[in-house]
Structure 1
Amino acid sequence: MTAHLQLAELVTACHWIGAKGWAPATSGNMSMREDDVHCLLSESGKDKGSLTANDFIRVEIASNRAPSGRKPSAETGLHTLIYRLFPDAGAVLHTHTVNSTVLSRVEKSDVLILQGYEMQKSLSGQTTHLDTLPIAIFDNDQDIEKLASRIEHYACENPLRYGFLLRGHGLTCWGKNVAQARQHLEGLEFLFECEMQRRLLERT
């Protein structure tokens, strides 16, 4: 798929995310790999439900620099980190949903363990509900460079697949292309909602 068509698919995904309320009040950021050197990242302060192709900014993956001088997302460094860590990553979606935000605070450890859910198979490479699916949780930080460094250090020693949670913040997930990133987002959000409901019911 050409970069132009992939960007059109990303815009559609952003409208879908906006309609679900998964990126409220201009929050969240989305991107796609354009080539080995650049990614296209949503501009800061834009409503994700009404983005157009013109709202995406070319950013250098190695340096986080936007040659145009326009302002990409505050979390640019997390997107470029994923593209550097995972050469197969073609799109990154970062959302602020209630389930991911609350669950990341309820879970006190640095990993959320999911197991026993059939919908685990919505994630690429997962073939059974019996697998243990770990989702890393990182404490939030307004210093994105520092946060990216912590995530990179973790990824050097631990498997980091599909996505991660930022505590009290939201979910960042990725895939080989926009379609797979969107599938991972929807699958993870379903799993987070199930886990939230399970924990609530166990307390009653």
Structure 2
Amino acid sequence: MHNDAAKAELIDAGRWVADKGWVPATGGNFSMRTQSGFVVTASGHDKGKLDTHHFLELDDNGNIVAGEGKPSAETALHLKLYALRPSTQCILHTHSVAATVLSRFFQGDAFSVTGYEMQKSLSGVTTHLEPLNIAIFDNDQDIPRLAELVAKHHETTPIVHGVLIRGHGMYAMGDNVFETRRHIEGLEFLFACELERLKLEGIK
């Protein structure tokens, strides 16, 4: 995909994600693989009002070759996820309330659910009876160190749909922007269901 086409798709995705309330206060960052490397959102912009000049163009090694501003420090995690799963073409990092709260509530290394039909919205999942696990990593301002922890986890448990960062948000990934958006929407539905379930259990 050419850089301009990738930017157009990420601009559209930004409006959609912002309308859902999943990228408040200029939070989040988006990226897409292109023919020449990657395009990523520059730091500090409202993701619901992105324009073509709000992106940076990177080469295959992550070096900036065009664009103004600076990339988020979290770009290093995007690049690591692309390297771990070469079929990935798009990564959208969001900050929803449900993902952020649940990543703190579950103290283990994964968000795990089963029994929801919506699990089948995720690529490769064919039944609601199959446990779905989304890895959770502790937040770390040292992004290269966090990226290496993600890579180590991937060696034994491949990361396919995305990851949660505790108290921070979700990185969703897919083989194109539409799959990434589907993964976000499916996972956010599951997060919301689990959050409501926990609230109801607390009322009992």
TM-score range, shorter chain: over 0.9
Alpha-carbon contact 1:18-1:24 (below 8 Å) kept: yes
Which residue does the alignment assign to 2:81?
A: 82
Task: Check if 1:147 corresponds to 2:146.
Answer: yes
- Alpha-carbon shift at residue 199 of structure 1 (Å): 1.4
RMSD: 1.4
Unaligned runs of 5+ in 2: none
The alignment's TM-score, normalised by the length of structure 1, stands at: 0.94
The 5 A counterparts of 1:48-127 are 48-62=47-61, 64-68=62-66, 70-127=69-126
Count residues with an aligned counterpart.
202
Alpha-carbon contact 1:41-1:76 (below 8 Å) kept: yes
Q: Using the alignment, how far apart are the partners of 2:29 and 2:160 within structure 1? A: 19
Alpha-carbon contact 1:58-1:67 (below 8 Å) kept: yes
- Alpha-carbon shift at residue 5 of structure 1 (Å): 3.1
CA displacement, residues 120-141 of structure 1 (integer Å, 9 cap, x when unaligned): 0111111111110011000000
Aligned residue type for 1:119 = M
Which residue does the alignment assign to 2:15?
A: 15
Q: Using the alignment, how far apart are the partners of 2:77 and 2:7 within structure 1? A: 19
Q: What is the SS of the residue equivalent to 1:165?
A: strand
Task: Check if 1:137 corresponds to 2:123.
Answer: no
Unaligned runs of 5+ in 1: none
Alpha-carbon contact 1:162-1:175 (below 8 Å) kept: yes
The alignment's TM-score, normalised by the length of structure 2, stands at: 0.94
Task: Check if 1:34 corresponds to 2:34.
Answer: yes
- Alpha-carbon shift at residue 67 of structure 1 (Å): 2.6
Alpha-carbon contact 1:61-1:83 (below 8 Å) kept: no
Once the two structures are aligned, what percentage of the paired residues are identical? 48
Which residue does the alignment assign to 1:159?
A: 158
CA displacement, residues 54-76 of structure 1 (integer Å, 9 cap, x when unaligned): 211112343x3213374112211
Q: Using the alignment, how far apart are the partners of 2:60 and 2:108 within structure 1? A: 31
Q: Using the alignment, how far apart are the partners of 2:47 and 2:153 within structure 1? A: 30
Aligned in 2, Cα 1:137/1:61: closer, same or farther, shift over 3 Å?
A: farther
Q: Using the alignment, how far apart are the partners of 1:174 and 1:193 within structure 2? A: 19
